[in-house]
Structure 1
Amino acid sequence: MHKPTFRNWSLIALAAGLALPLLAAEQADIGTADKSTLEKAYPSKPNYSPYAGRTFPTQPLFGDTHLHTSFSMDAGAFGARLAPKDAYRFARGEEIASNSGQPVKLSRPLDFLVVADHSDGMGFFPQLMGGDPDLLATPQGRKWYDQIKGGQGADAAMDIIASFSGNKMPKGFPTPGTTSYRNAWQQTIKAAETYNEPGRFTAFIGYEWTAGGSSNLHRNVVFRGNGAQAGLVEPFTTLPPLGSPNPTDLWKWMAATEQKTGSEVLAIAHNGNLSNGIMFPVVEAFGKRLDRDYVQTRARWEPLYEVTQTKGTGEAHPFLSPNDEFANFELWDKGNLDGTATKTKDMLEFEYARAALKNGLVLEAKLGTNPYKFGMIGSSDAHTGLAAMEEDNFFGKTAPQEPSPERMTKAFVDNPKTGVKIMDWEVSASGFAAVWATENTREAIFDAMKRRETYATTGPRMIVRFFGGWDYAAADANNRMPAAIGYAKGVPMGGDLSNAPQGKSPTFLVAALKDAIGANLDRIQIVKGWVGPDGKTQERVYDVAVSGGRKIDADGRCKTPVGNTVDVENATWMNSIGAPELITVWKDPQFDAKQRAFYYARVIEIPTPRWTAYDAKRFAIKPLPGTAMVLQERAYTAPIWYTP
């Protein structure tokens, strides 16, 4: 059953460009009056106000947990000149000059940001370009300095990445304990402290642990606490002897850091599509078989996964999900991080979120803990200091990819030895993290991340609710306050169901509202994964709410496309198809109470112009054959898990 609804007041607000929430009433400010005091004052009367005493999260906050500035050695070599303070200013809504000197501003400020510069070599670029004598005395340092000064920053950047991956960095390279490294970390902390404004904007302290060499195993580490706490430690690096490329050593550092600083920390696994099959192991990792300690420790420290970013989307892959027509979306499946190794199909299962979620169920049955019980978020991984991920306002992944006619035709990765080639036009304008938090503070957002009450978007700020329980009824989709019902009868995204009542199947309340200044919605889907009686994993995608009066067949699929209003030549579209809002209650028709399972919602927009269409229009250029010009943006919620 699906129920697309729309009110005239919604139309007026949307036309005015207001950020209308899913059920605007649910996002009013929470009062501060003491509940017990009110109960004493009115002991015999129920509350007239439906908002009195409400404690659940009432608004999604949108942000980026993975942004690089000039303090990252590769970003600086590519041409980034913006520092952490500039990144926070931009995310807060200020207009600034980009690395290429172009004025840039977000359509709307973000709610939070993590400047996550690379742990290894933090501050290397400012040190190099400042003429550090130790670096310039080395052949590599002098070469890179001259290349960058001579306008060959991209060549220098790739050489720096290769040298780092091979542990062949020059003398003077900043490492923990050196003055230059300490200064860079302190400046990073200072920027976050300066621009953190509880209630308005959250500036987290964090960094990216840059492990895996050319096969990406990166993690973004986020501190819950303040600068005084974070300043008691320095980031954990990956190059020996001070660091390690093994995630288990990062987790040990995190445990020690919590003890030393008093601040909680968490790690977010980087989009695994460039890991070449090692992000989600199922047998062994770093030569050691997976055991109870591994799965428990990974689950403890990594509650979230970055499912979409500029280097592609890693939710699903057509090879792994041949019956999912929406799986072929913004894929980077040609090779590893620098193209030195090609991709083979046997690697894909251990790189994509849906496969990891399924394999996690199997590991839980064997070892007692699901190491891949993660919520999903999106973030940018931009190396520009600019979290500009809107299709019509995309400022690229690296400084050379800031808006220009050339970025439509140049190659981002081109390795003649392996044949791996990725064009600049294949870079995605994605994504953002959405978090259901009780307030805009470090503590509230961190806690929401830890409990996995999150979802990923590929750029739009659509609002999505997803609840699971045993007693949702069709009438619940008619209520204008679904969250009140959702929390009262079940658990939100990221939650757990267990021990099914006799004769009952899980029910799900799911609702989505379009981005206030974005496109209408095509459909809501629920993706189910489970372990069959033979011990093998299975999956199925259900269309649960569709727009335009289309029919959902008995097999749970809508075969009729929503349509396409995109005018590619003029980079425009019309919201004459789709629905501004979709809400429904869905019951699993094939539930087996003995089988472990997960469910997550995927919300699909109607087709809209991709950033390449905007560039072709604005620069009056003809795109290369095969350039993608249209896409259907989407959101992915954290799953809800069922355990027998």
Structure 2
Amino acid sequence: MKITYLSFIVGALLLQGCEQPSSNTSTKVETKPVTTTAEQPKKETTVKYAQNVYFGDTHLHTNNSFDAGAFGNTLSPDDAYKYARGEKITASMGLETQLIKPLDFLVVSDHSDNMGMIPDLYAGKKELIANPLGKELYEGLMAGRNHEVALKLIKGFSQGTLPDVLNYDPESIGYKDAWNAIIDSAEKYNEPGKFTAFIGYEWTSMIKGANMHRVLIYRDGEEKGRQMVPYTTTPPYGSQNPRDLWKWMQTYEDKTQGNILAIAHNGNLSNGIMFPLDEQYDGTKLDKEYVESRARWEPLYEITQMKGDGETHPVLSPNDEFADFEQWDVGNLDLSELKTNEMLPGEYGREALKRGLAIEKKLGINPYKFGLIGSTDSHTSLATTEADNFFGKMSTSEPGKARMTDALVTGLGKTIYYRQTINSGLAAVWATENTRQGLFDAMKRKETYATTGQRIQVRFFAGWNFNESDLNSKDFVQLGYEKGVPMGADLPSKAGDAPQFMVVAMKDPDAANLDRLQVVKGWLDSEGNTHERIFDVACSDNRKIVARRCDKVVGNTVDVKTATYTNDIGADSLKALWTDPEFDASQNAFYYVRVLAIPTPRWTTYDAVRYNIAIPDDIPTSIQDRAYTAPIWYNH
């Protein structure tokens, strides 16, 4: 589904003759509904900039992933693509489901390790059940004890104790069959101009339960994709170290003349090792090879997904009143090690962006110069992000009363519950066309943003001579590119005044109004210390900006008893031209936009009404969805 928005705002916003806001205020603007179409667009051969935004999921698991299958997922890659394209599907637990709006693209990213084992275990393959643990797991599956079986498999894999027979390697027939089936599905459902099905997988590095996963996405089709099997984490077929993954990626490109990229998994379950400052998890010092390789191969970061939001944390950003949002800060993936505050700086996106500035000063290259995307990491084959149509993280957490109280994982006296998952997120990509090549190239240049589920649209430009006329021009987008740079880019330095930033956002036409626009700035001072500051740059409902913030909260229309809300507050569109009032030309910095929607019912609130059950006290009844743009960097 292409979002046809006439260069995003020309017809829907700037031609409305609205009152022109000042650089620090914004007015509520009436807009026409966004038009959607499934028709194949004309190929734009002369357009040099991205005209369309496409929404998709870069991180989805099917029954070929050992944990997803063990949790009861019976749906194949074919089913995942059908669902993403808008078809009605019967979920693993028997409920019918259909997306409210289809996606534009999807990456089936099954785990690199043990791919295809679970379908064979369900089938009772004799080599598997001849092993004592294999027999125990098989009997558990047959008895419907999926949760118990899944946790044993995850624990065994996380701690490296699975017997070889239960850990399929890339040379096994079952693994090869699963990988080829994944490629077959991507080729079958890829329809250039209408829907993009990427070949991909998730490299499943797990350092004693600390999540170091990366999703790999191919620009290529089956001819190149079949030439090499995925890189795993088990020698001799792979390694836990990302340095080795990056070498494998180089080998793939050298051998096939293809293209591939990696997206680091939300770091909140890495227990501090996702974004090292001085040395890796194994004590190896960061060096030029590390920072060059990471900067090259990992242009994007998954900042939000079902296992929590990864932008920032109240401990890291105590002056950010919106920092406390859907954190998972109990421990690592299998709760074999609990979280400490000292681990947090190595886990969250904003802090990683700041660390990147410090590392660049020391080693000359910023390894964390990434764009931002969201994705689901759903293990149900169903990419659902709508709060009122949420099918859970695992198949055992598909809609039903039990998912409000059932535990997902328990360890060391702590528990993470299914209710703590969040219906997030989506990857939004500004591209010239909905094809593998068009989307991949946009990802490489980082012209992307993340949302926590709603299809908020946002443009972000930086330049040295923008003005109010540019912001309100029917040629806003063209001027943004011609006079500046878009999200994900570097702003060339220039002597003189501070840079200007243009930002325009529009609500999801089927969801909540917008509360405010914020610019998040991070910078490195002359002594090598990093800092952050948040500036509200546009407020809905005629609120004023006082001391960098909207002077009032937007309010909350959520009726918890009925799981409803109204758009009587907020704005359908917000825009601003903003100049950094604290700009110091000698300090390297980054800027990104956070868009906040008005409060809406959390998915658990919809469940409470649907099943007439209580909401536990540890869960909020409403949330404010948000979007995070890729940063724009300034280097002096």
TM-score by length of 2: 0.94
Instruction: Specify the code of the residue in structure 2 equivalent to 1:162.
Output: K
Assess if the C-alpha contact under 8 Å between 2:28 and 2:540 holds in 1.
no
Structure 1 segments unaligned to the other structure (5+ residues): 21-26, 35-52
Aligned to 1:319: 315
Aligned to 2:238: 243
Assess if the C-alpha contact under 8 Å between 2:386 and 2:453 holds in 1.
yes
1:61 paired residue among 54, 68, 72: 54
Aligned to 1:586: 578
Assess if the C-alpha contact under 8 Å between 2:305 and 2:377 holds in 1.
yes
1:70-469 matches, cutoff 5 A: 70-172=63-165, 173-213=167-207, 214-285=209-280, 286-415=282-411, 418-469=412-463
Instruction: Specify the code of the residue in structure 2 equivalent to 1:603.
Output: V
Assess if the C-alpha contact under 8 Å between 2:86 and 2:99 holds in 1.
yes
1:560 paired residue among 536, 552, 571: 552
Measured against aligned partners, the alpha-carbon deviations of 1:363-417 in whole angstroms (never above 9, x if no partner) come to: 11110100000000000001000001111110000001100011011111222xx
CA distance in 2, matches of 1:405, 1:28: 42
3-state DSSP of counterpart to 2:550 = coil
CA distance in 1, matches of 2:47, 2:142: 58
Residues 1:487 and 2:481 are matched in the alignment: yes
CA distance in 1, matches of 2:242, 2:524: 27
TM-fit CA distance, 1:30 = 6.0
CA distance in 1, matches of 2:138, 2:510: 44
C-alpha root-mean-square deviation of aligned residues, in Å? Answer: 1.5
Assess if the C-alpha contact under 8 Å between 1:595 and 1:643 holds in 2.
yes
Instruction: Specify the code of the residue in structure 2 equivalent to 1:465.
Output: R
Assess if the C-alpha contact under 8 Å between 1:282 and 1:359 holds in 2.
yes
Measured against aligned partners, the alpha-carbon deviations of 1:14-39 in whole angstroms (never above 9, x if no partner) come to: 6xxx459xxxxxx996675x8xxxxx
TM-fit CA distance, 1:420 = 2.1
CA distance in 2, matches of 1:392, 1:304: 29
3-state DSSP of counterpart to 1:512 = strand
Assess if the C-alpha contact under 8 Å between 2:43 and 2:433 holds in 1.
no
Assess if the C-alpha contact under 8 Å between 1:58 and 1:438 holds in 2.
yes
Instruction: Specify the code of the residue in structure 2 equivalent to 1:3.
Output: S
Measured against aligned partners, the alpha-carbon deviations of 1:181-222 in whole angstroms (never above 9, x if no partner) come to: 111100000000000000000000000000024100000001
Structure 2 segments unaligned to the other structure (5+ residues): 1-22
Instruction: Specify the code of the residue in structure 2 equivalent to 1:264.
Output: N
Assess if the C-alpha contact under 8 Å between 1:19 and 1:515 holds in 2.
no
Percent identity of equivalent pairs: 53
1:626 to 1:164, Cα distance in 2 relative to 1, 3 A: closer
Assess if the C-alpha contact under 8 Å between 1:30 and 1:54 holds in 2.
no
Aligned to 1:37: none
Aligned to 1:505: 498
Aligned to 1:3: 26
1:596-607 matches, cutoff 5 A: 596-607=588-599
Measured against aligned partners, the alpha-carbon deviations of 1:315-345 in whole angstroms (never above 9, x if no partner) come to: 0111010000010001001111011111000
CA distance in 1, matches of 2:142, 2:619: 33
Assess if the C-alpha contact under 8 Å between 2:55 and 2:103 holds in 1.
yes
TM-fit CA distance, 1:626 = 2.5
TM-fit CA distance, 1:534 = 1.7
1:13-24 matches, cutoff 5 A: 13=33, 18-19=35-36
Assess if the C-alpha contact under 8 Å between 1:339 and 1:414 holds in 2.
yes
Structure 1 range deviating more: 622-631 or 205-214: 622-631
3-state DSSP of counterpart to 1:197 = coil
Assess if the C-alpha contact under 8 Å between 1:135 and 1:171 holds in 2.
no
Instruction: Specify the code of the residue in structure 2 equivalent to 1:6.
Output: V
TM-fit CA distance, 1:625 = 2.2
1:480 to 1:570, Cα distance in 2 relative to 1, 3 A: farther
Instruction: Specify the code of the residue in structure 1 equivalent to 2:394.
Output: T
3-state DSSP of counterpart to 2:250 = helix
CA distance in 2, matches of 1:28, 1:530: 43
1:517-556 matches, cutoff 5 A: 517-553=510-546, 555-556=547-548
1:332 to 1:31, Cα distance in 2 relative to 1, 3 A: closer
Measured against aligned partners, the alpha-carbon deviations of 1:157-181 in whole angstroms (never above 9, x if no partner) come to: 1111111123222343310111111
Measured against aligned partners, the alpha-carbon deviations of 1:253-298 in whole angstroms (never above 9, x if no partner) come to: 1000111122200000000000000000011112210011100000
TM-fit CA distance, 1:492 = 0.3
CA distance in 1, matches of 2:565, 2:250: 50
CA distance in 1, matches of 2:584, 2:179: 51
Instruction: Specify the code of the residue in structure 2 equivalent to 1:533.
Output: S
Assess if the C-alpha contact under 8 Å between 2:41 and 2:193 holds in 1.
no
CA distance in 2, matches of 1:545, 1:247: 40
Aligned to 1:42: none
Measured against aligned partners, the alpha-carbon deviations of 1:45-64 in whole angstroms (never above 9, x if no partner) come to: xxxxxxxx543111110000
TM-fit CA distance, 1:587 = 0.4
1:171 to 1:338, Cα distance in 2 relative to 1, 3 A: closer
Structure 1 range deviating more: 311-320 or 475-484: 475-484
Assess if the C-alpha contact under 8 Å between 1:3 and 1:477 holds in 2.
no
Measured against aligned partners, the alpha-carbon deviations of 1:336-364 in whole angstroms (never above 9, x if no partner) come to: 10111110001001100000000100111
Runs of 4+ that moved beyond 3 A: 27-32
3-state DSSP of counterpart to 1:284 = coil
1:575 to 1:481, Cα distance in 2 relative to 1, 3 A: farther
CA distance in 2, matches of 1:199, 1:28: 5
Assess if the C-alpha contact under 8 Å between 1:167 and 1:239 holds in 2.
no
Assess if the C-alpha contact under 8 Å between 2:40 and 2:194 holds in 1.
no
1:476 to 1:30, Cα distance in 2 relative to 1, 3 A: farther
Instruction: Specify the code of the residue in structure 2 equivalent to 1:459.
Output: G
1:336 to 1:581, Cα distance in 2 relative to 1, 3 A: same
CA distance in 2, matches of 1:433, 1:283: 30
Instruction: Specify the code of the residue in structure 2 equivalent to 1:217.
Output: M
3-state DSSP of counterpart to 2:482 = helix
Instruction: Specify the code of the residue in structure 1 equivalent to 2:379.
Output: H
Assess if the C-alpha contact under 8 Å between 1:19 and 1:516 holds in 2.
no
Aligned to 2:471: 477
3-state DSSP of counterpart to 2:358 = helix
Assess if the C-alpha contact under 8 Å between 1:454 and 1:638 holds in 2.
yes
